[in-house]
Structure 1
């Protein structure tokens, strides 16, 4: 059975692969909070916000492992996948509607985050 926590069973980068070059969690919390306060409205900025927020909450869920963190991580991943579905902005090999993401969109976030890191050079 696929495991959203470890990424096993999904055709997506594992958490270690997807987040290897990610900024530390405290720095990302600051970026997400500042960006939310400034309310990005253009499509690329809004997508980056939802992606980085979902990736941050996924990383916290991985570290914490508690039910609350897992639920928040799942919700943020679903919101991000919904954004990509509505705006046709997915970049990875599997779109947000792919059966690949059953039972969780968290690996979708990892796929998109890894692709974003490669393109953005962050």
Structure 2
């Protein structure tokens, strides 16, 4: 636990308090004017927000369809006349996980695959679709979301 002291313009106290609450687990914010009474002093006790539990690749992809089957599903889905792309969360989860699995397989064979960059890019796109504000490795986020989708469709 630690304490944060901020001196700011009184009009910024709500925005700062909200931002701190998003970044840390915080206690009550205590506020007092500065000596010259032109600014506000904020005092808040805080703790680092615990890192979420990220599933390992093995945990995330246990019970997943084969890579070949997922590749087929993604290809057929994209080729479908009703496919509109952006808003189809299931597609983006499955596509991101497929690229992650390809990159993991290449790494296991001691190779760096161009799929690594693609996996990162599509993972970030999924985070954008979800409006995810977590700070993490985007591929960890994909594994978490794929595991949730796979176990609770």
TM-score by length of structure 1 reads 0.73
**Would you say the 8 A contact 1:77–1:109 is kept in 2?**
yes
Write the distance in 2 (CA, Å) between the matches of 1:46 and 1:53: 11
Higher relative contact order (CA 8 A, sep 6+): 1
| 2:133 aligned partner | 97
Write the distance in 2 (CA, Å) between the matches of 1:15 and 1:29: 18
Q: Deviations over 1:16-42 (max 9, x none)?
A: 000001101011000000001115349
| 1:17 aligned partner | 59
Write the distance in 2 (CA, Å) between the matches of 1:42 and 1:22: 23
Across the aligned residues of Structure 1 and Structure 2, the Cα RMSD in angstroms comes to 2.1
Is it true that 1:40 corresponds to 2:83 in the alignment? yes
Question: Which runs of 4 or more aligned residues in structure 1 lie more than 4 Å from their structure 2 counterparts after TM superposition?
Answer: none
Q: Give structure 1 stretches of 5+ with no counterpart.
A: 1-8, 86-95
Write the distance in 1 (CA, Å) between the matches of 2:56 and 2:74: 23
Write the distance in 2 (CA, Å) between the matches of 1:73 and 1:46: 17
Deviation at 1:117, TM superposition (A): 1.1
Aligned partner of residue 109 in structure 1, secondary structure: helix
Greater share of helix residues, 1 or 2? 1
Write the distance in 2 (CA, Å) between the matches of 1:41 and 1:69: 24
Greater share of strand residues, 1 or 2? 2
**Would you say the 8 A contact 1:10–1:107 is kept in 2?**
no
Aligned pairs for 1:20-99 within 5 A: 20-38=62-80, 39-41=82-84, 46-65=88-107, 66-85=112-131, 96-99=132-135
Write the distance in 2 (CA, Å) between the matches of 1:21 and 1:40: 26
Bigger Rg, structure 1 or 2? 2
The size of the alignment, in residue pairs, is: 98
TM-score by length of structure 2 reads 0.59
